[in-house]
């Protein structure tokens, strides 16, 4: 029998987005992907999407989010980890990036974050200057 992917849900509430922002993150091309392991015993994968005003007007932001939703629908069941919350944040090229390249961006970010020793979420606040 074929193994079924865990169910995928939308992440809609602000606390869910804020919790994911405290997890690990990975930027690839036109997308920034944040992930948080919930550790609540629930195998569902929750996914949220956002685009800031820096991307453009409402029409452009909505297009970017639609593209990210479709990319997540195709890739998260295969490359996402059960019991995790993911937030896909559109970056500058998300609305106009060629579709294959956008899929590659999301896929490589998911794979990178799926590894145990993934990149840290953010650089430390008190990082030493390069001249030290």
Q: Name the pTM for this structure.
A: 0.82
pLDDT tens per residue, range 11-27: 999 999 999 999 999 99
How far apart are the C-alpha atoms of 84 and 47, rounded to whole Å?
9
Own/partner pairs for 2-7, CB < 8 Å, 24+ apart?
Answer: 5/45, 5/77, 5/78, 5/80, 6/43, 6/44, 6/45, 6/77, 6/82, 6/83, 7/43, 7/44, 7/45
Is the pLDDT at 132 greater than 90? The verdict is no
pLDDT tens-digit profile of 101-131? Answer: 999 999 999 999 988 544 444 444 444 445 5
Q: What percent of the chain shows pLDDT beyond 70?
A: 83
Q: What architecture is domain 8-114?
A: 2-Layer Sandwich (3.30)
**Residue 88 pLDDT exceeds 50:** yes
Q: What residue segments make up the domains of the chain, in order of their start?
A: 8-114
Tell me how far apart the 2 most distant CA atoms of the chain are, in Å: 58
Q: Which residues contact 46 (CB under 8 A, 6 or more apart)?
A: 8, 9, 10, 11, 16, 84, 85, 86
């Amino acid at each position: 029998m074929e193994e079924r992917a865990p169910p995928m849900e939308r992440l809609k509430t602000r606390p869910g987005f804020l919790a994911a922002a405290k997890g690990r993150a990975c930027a690839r091309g036109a997308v920034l992907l944040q992930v948080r392991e919930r550790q609540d015993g629930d195998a569902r994968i929750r996914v949220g999407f956002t685009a800031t005003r820096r991307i453009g007007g409402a029409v452009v932001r909505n297009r970017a989010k639609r593209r990210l939703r479709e990319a997540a629908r195709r890739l998260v069941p295969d490359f996402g980890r059960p019991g995790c919350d993911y937030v896909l944040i559109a970056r500058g090229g998300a609305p106009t990036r060629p579709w294959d390249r956008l899929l590659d961006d999301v896929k490589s970010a998911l794979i990178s974050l799926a590894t145990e020793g993934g990149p840290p979420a953010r650089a430390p606040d008190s990082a030493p200057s390069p001249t030290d």
